[in-house]
Structure formats: structure tokens, C-alpha cells
Amino acid sequence: MEAYEQLKQLVTAAEEDIRKAEGGNKAAGTRARKQMQEIKAAAQAVRVAILEIRSD
């Protein structure tokens, strides 16, 4: 499933900025928040794809 693979890539990409943000880096925190919004949208896309599969 393409949407799920994209979600996994986004989570992996956000890991470094999240670690930096925990250390107090404000710019990394801003990037992490933006990435989390993208992850949220990707997770919604996975949910929609699963519902489409289920309704077939």
C-alpha cells in the first residue's frame, strides 16, 4: 500500500528533528511540528484507503 509506505517514510524523516527538539532546539521543534501535520494527513490517507478496500 503506497499510502502506508509514505507514512512510514515521514515518521522516519521526522525522527532526527524530534530528537533535536527534545534537546531544546527551537528551529527543530518548528520543523517537527510541520512534519507531524504531514504525518497526520498521511495517516488519514491510509484510513481512507483501508475504508475503500473494505467497501469493495
Q: Could you count the other beta carbons within 10 Å of the beta carbon of residue 7?
A: 20
What's phi and psi for 55, nearest 5 deg?
-85, -10
The 10s digit of each residue's pLDDT in 19-53 is 999 999 999 999 999 999 999 999 999 999 999 99
CA 29 to CA 21: how far, in whole Å? 5
The whole-number pLDDT of residue 56 equals 76
Full residue range of the structural domain in which residue 43 is found: 2-55
How many domains are contained in the chain?
1
CA 53 to chain centre: 22
1 pLDDT band (50/70/90 cuts)? confident
CB atoms within 10 A of CB 18: 17
In this model, does residue 18 exceed pLDDT 90? yes
**pLDDT value at position 10?**
96
Residue 25's pLDDT is: 96
